[in-house]
Structure 1
Amino acid sequence: MALIIQKYGGSSIPTIERIKDVARRVVATRTRGQDVVVVMSAMGGTTDELLRRARDIASGPPPRELDALLATGEQASNALTAMAIHALGAEACSFTGWQAGVITSPAHGEADIVDVQPHRIRCALDRGVIPLVAGFQGLSRENADVTTVGRGGSDTTAVALAAALEADICEIYTDVSGVYTADPKVVPEAGLLHHLTHQQMREMAAGGAKVLALPSVDYAGKHAVTLHVRSSYHDRPGTVVSGAPGITAHRPPVISVTHDPCVAKVTLTGVLEPTVAVEAVREAMVAAGIGAAVLRTAPASDGRNADIALALPRTAVATGLTALRTHRTDIGYEHVMCDSHAATASLVGCGLSIFPGIVATLRRTLTNIGVPYTPIAVTDTRISLLCPPSRLFDAVRALHRAFVAGPLCQPLSPPIPRVGVPLALQP
């Protein structure tokens, strides 16, 4: 019997009626003869409301108590969905993250999942009960405190459970049909990507794509978990993310254009040894728990030293600046400057650093529409650039026309699904 993990995000359950719809989908999966474990996010808007209430009490609430508060959002939707499943005549049991055996590091608000011991989940499955697990939360091994694993943490909870239970597939349900070549809210003509590798999805998430949280993609790649991103509002096949590349008639160099409007540009000036400094900066960011930083080196105006530019998540600026100042001697720079109002656009694909015409087309495209930009990272799989937030959407649309909808791209050949069978479970 196949085992499926189904995770439902907050956008899938904004109302009680939507919770009932999710319950019907879960029961239908079980009726088809498949074991299912459900991971629930908080109902849409709940986490933001809890944060607002906490900050009405104190501008800087204690992290431990904030985690204890925020964890209740997922617990509420989890129990409500279990009730809805019971109302349909099926057996279900809701579990908190720690009851499900999710063990984390002690870092409140940004904990890492370090282990999953799903004994109670296995027992429920053996009894024919549908287990539901509250996402986004776990228990610190060091002090037995409740922890949360950051925004998008329910994705990571689902992937970690899929790995621990050796599930056949982990379905991530949301309010969109899958992963697109760009954000369809920005680029209406964006196309659905039917298959991505873990590496491609990772580059998209790191470049700002919001469909999957970056830590969940990293965890899936490390543990070879196949993901299926689908809409909870219909039954059409979405996007499969796995370790193996899909079969295509032609693989274009650029598969998507991503963007992130919430970025800060940090510049280190007076760098004496750029190669050493870049490695030291990367180590400092990793030690500070900032994994999405991208860097660029350039000659300084004085002709003797170099400048290093970093793009950091805006929420990580304070932590990043502290880390850079702490490791100033190791990095070897004179001054640090920060522009907290920046944005990035990224091309994601393969062979980008060697494919002829990529950089020239990018430069021509943005110059023609008058968007100033600074290249920040050029690798084989992603080219990222900084641009003014006010022109970000213009840049994304123009790049999508040039690279994804233009002559450099041929459409990918989608797999043909068998009706009623999850795409990733088909032979």
Structure 2
Amino acid sequence: MSLLVQKYGGTSVGTVERIEAVADKVAGFRAQGHDMVVVVSAMSGETNRLIALAKDIQQAPDPREMDVLVSTGEQVTIALLCMALKKRGCDARSYTGGQVRILTDDAHTKARIQEIDDANMRADLAAGRVVVVAGFQGVDEAGNITTLGRGGSDTTGVALAAALKADECQIYTDVDGVYTTDPRVVDKARRLEQITFEEMLEMASLGSKVLQIRAVEFAGKYNVPLRVLSSFADGPGTLITLDEEESTMEQPVVSGIAFNRDEAKITLAGIPDTPGIASKILAPVGKANVEVDVIVQNVGADNTTDLTFTVNRGDMNKTVDLLSNVVKEIGAREVTSDDAIAKVSIVGVGMRSHAGVASTMFTALAEEGINIQMITTSEIKISVIISEKYLELAVRTLHSAFGLDAEPAQA
């Protein structure tokens, strides 16, 4: 008998009818003899509704109380799904993150999982019950409710699968797998049968919204077989695997195109070109819990330098305010910002063994008149910062340039 951990996202449980449909699916797997652990998100729109309520009261809501508030969304779903399963004669028991004891650190709104107590879940599974767990949440050592950040239900699912040594972790969502890029931007995007953890990690970190990056990290670290499937249509989905050789044998050099609109660029100009100056700029940014992405430094002829880096668009104003004081302290000329940018990336493990990938990318963009503002690379990815108005053109251009377009359907 195999153990499956299934995670259903907000759109999959967005209405009572959809919760009933999930119950049908789960009961079907249970009837086939599978042990079942189900992780659910809040009903679609519920978390946003709760956040809006908080901001109506407090402009910058208290992080601890925010976690208490938004964690209630999943609590509604687990109870309703258990009721639907029981109606189908399928015994089930719901657990909040705290009841399972998903132990996290105390970083409210973006906590990290430290330990999972699987005793209650194993006892329920042994008794033939379906275990239904609230995603996205846990508790810290002091018993405070914590949340794992937006999309954290994926991480909950993978973490439970790792703790329980599940045969497969299945992420059910509103798409039927991982695509070469967002089908809403490129109508010729193709579903991938298989992709490596490494490629999926890059895709997730670079803007692909199919899976949360920490979920992919967890799956890769503990070698949890991970499959992305549709809640609304049958199909094999996309398997995320460690087997790099098998997944790339018949695939192109580039597996996918990721993009992120949620970027802003900050430039400090006229910085004294002295040792340790970058640290004096970036250390305060890090202490303010702002994540820095792409960094480029240019040295001028007058012993000054310009430092440009990107941050999440929502952190731009905070970072500029923070650096206004730093500019005075270090004797820089000015700090400027630009939030009309986007990041486009090509990803593929095949890039390790193929030359000319960067040249193909840059030539394709140049032929469309798209200017590259910043570049960053790793073994299996190349990312460029461009003007946001060219984003969709760039994605479509690169998708074609690397042979990712789907073949037209035969008449």
Query: Is 1:214 matched with 2:209?
Result: no
**Secondary structure at the counterpart of residue 100 of structure 2:** coil
Q: Following TM superposition, by how much is the alpha carbon of 1:252 offset from its aligned partner in structure 2, in angstroms?
A: 2.5
Q: Following TM superposition, by how much is the alpha carbon of 1:73 offset from its aligned partner in structure 2, in angstroms?
A: 0.5
Percent sequence identity over matched residues? 39
| Aligned mates of 1:327, 1:105 — CA distance in 2 | 31
| Aligned mates of 1:307, 1:370 — CA distance in 2 | 25
**2:87 alignment counterpart:** 87
Alpha-carbon spacing, 1:315–1:185, altered in 2? closer, same or farther (3 Å)? same
| Aligned mates of 1:258, 1:274 — CA distance in 2 | 36
**1:139 alignment counterpart:** 139
After superposition, residues 267-282 of structure 1 pair within 5 angstroms as: 267-270=267-270
| Aligned mates of 2:87, 2:235 — CA distance in 1 | 26
| Aligned mates of 1:115, 1:328 — CA distance in 2 | 42
Q: Deviations over 1:305-341 (max 9, x none)?
A: 4433322222344676688789999x99775433233
| Aligned mates of 1:36, 1:282 — CA distance in 2 | 46
Q: Following TM superposition, by how much is the alpha carbon of 1:290 offset from its aligned partner in structure 2, in angstroms?
A: 5.5
Q: Deviations over 1:164-194 (max 9, x none)?
A: 1111111000010100000001011101111
| Aligned mates of 2:196, 2:282 — CA distance in 1 | 25
| Aligned mates of 1:383, 1:144 — CA distance in 2 | 43
Q: Following TM superposition, by how much is the alpha carbon of 1:28 offset from its aligned partner in structure 2, in angstroms?
A: 0.8
| Aligned mates of 2:260, 2:277 — CA distance in 1 | 26
**2:105 alignment counterpart:** 105
8 Å CA contact 1:353–1:378 kept in 2: the answer is no
**1:203 alignment counterpart:** 202
**Secondary structure at the counterpart of residue 183 of structure 1:** coil
**Secondary structure at the counterpart of residue 216 of structure 1:** helix
Instruction: List gaps (5 residues or longer) in structure 1.
Output: 412-427
Q: Which sits farther off after the overlay, 351-360 or 46-55?
A: 351-360
8 Å CA contact 1:277–1:332 kept in 2: the answer is no
Alpha-carbon spacing, 1:89–1:146, altered in 2? closer, same or farther (3 Å)? same
Q: Deviations over 1:258-278 (max 9, x none)?
A: 110111112344566799767
**2:48 alignment counterpart:** 48
Q: Which sits farther off after the overlay, 73-82 or 54-63?
A: 54-63
After superposition, residues 10-89 of structure 1 pair within 5 angstroms as: 10-89=10-89
Alpha-carbon spacing, 1:116–1:9, altered in 2? closer, same or farther (3 Å)? same
**Secondary structure at the counterpart of residue 97 of structure 2:** coil
How many pairs align? 406
Q: Deviations over 1:350-406 (max 9, x none)?
A: 364774322222222122222222233122211111112222111111111111337
Q: Which sits farther off after the overlay, 362-371 or 191-200?
A: 362-371
**Secondary structure at the counterpart of residue 259 of structure 1:** strand
**2:263 alignment counterpart:** 263
Alpha-carbon spacing, 1:328–1:93, altered in 2? closer, same or farther (3 Å)? farther
| Aligned mates of 2:92, 2:46 — CA distance in 1 | 23
**Secondary structure at the counterpart of residue 345 of structure 2:** strand
| Aligned mates of 1:299, 1:373 — CA distance in 2 | 19
Alpha-carbon spacing, 1:244–1:351, altered in 2? closer, same or farther (3 Å)? closer
Q: Give the counterpart letter for 2:128 in structure 1.
A: G
| Aligned mates of 1:323, 1:164 — CA distance in 2 | 41
Q: Give the counterpart letter for 1:214 in structure 2.
A: I
Normalized against structure 1, the TM-score is what? 0.86
8 Å CA contact 1:285–1:293 kept in 2: the answer is no
Alpha-carbon spacing, 1:35–1:324, altered in 2? closer, same or farther (3 Å)? farther
| Aligned mates of 2:292, 2:224 — CA distance in 1 | 22
**Secondary structure at the counterpart of residue 78 of structure 1:** helix
After superposition, residues 301-340 of structure 1 pair within 5 angstroms as: 302=301, 304-317=303-316, 336-340=335-339
**1:184 alignment counterpart:** 183
**1:418 alignment counterpart:** none
8 Å CA contact 2:40–2:134 kept in 1: the answer is yes
Q: Following TM superposition, by how much is the alpha carbon of 1:134 offset from its aligned partner in structure 2, in angstroms?
A: 0.4
Alpha-carbon spacing, 1:45–1:194, altered in 2? closer, same or farther (3 Å)? same
**2:235 alignment counterpart:** 236
**Secondary structure at the counterpart of residue 203 of structure 1:** helix
| Aligned mates of 2:149, 2:338 — CA distance in 1 | 24
8 Å CA contact 1:256–1:404 kept in 2: the answer is no
Alpha-carbon spacing, 1:328–1:75, altered in 2? closer, same or farther (3 Å)? farther
Q: Following TM superposition, by how much is the alpha carbon of 1:279 offset from its aligned partner in structure 2, in angstroms?
A: 8.0
Q: Give the counterpart letter for 1:266 in structure 2.
A: I
Q: Deviations over 1:19-77 (max 9, x none)?
A: 10001111111111111100000111111111111112222222111111100101101
8 Å CA contact 2:273–2:303 kept in 1: the answer is no
Alpha-carbon spacing, 1:88–1:194, altered in 2? closer, same or farther (3 Å)? same
Alpha-carbon spacing, 1:360–1:46, altered in 2? closer, same or farther (3 Å)? same
Alpha-carbon spacing, 1:115–1:294, altered in 2? closer, same or farther (3 Å)? farther
| Aligned mates of 1:328, 1:298 — CA distance in 2 | 17
Q: Following TM superposition, by how much is the alpha carbon of 1:283 offset from its aligned partner in structure 2, in angstroms?
A: 7.6
8 Å CA contact 2:252–2:350 kept in 1: the answer is no
Alpha-carbon spacing, 1:373–1:126, altered in 2? closer, same or farther (3 Å)? same
Alpha-carbon spacing, 1:284–1:234, altered in 2? closer, same or farther (3 Å)? farther
